[in-house]
Amino acid sequence: MKKSVILFLVMVSIISFSNPVLASEKEPHTNNNKEIKAEHAETGDIPADVQIMLDRLEEIKEMDKSALKSAERKQLRAEVREIKSTLRATGNGLYISSGAIIIILLLIIIL
- Neighbouring residues of 80: CB distance < 8 A, sequence distance ≥ 6: 57, 60
**Rounded to whole angstroms, how far apart are CA atoms 107 and 14?**
46
Give residue 100's pLDDT. Answer: 82
Is 21 a residue whose pLDDT tops 60? no
Give residue 28's pLDDT. Answer: 55
**Rounded to whole angstroms, how far apart are CA atoms 77 and 80?**
5
Residue in 87, 32, 68 with CA at minimum distance from that of residue 77 = 68
23-32 pLDDT, tens digit per residue, is 555 555 555 5
Contact present, 37 and 46 (Cβ < 8 Å) = yes
What is the pTM for the complete model shown? Answer: 0.44
Pairwise pLDDT comparison (78 vs 99), residue with the higher score? 78
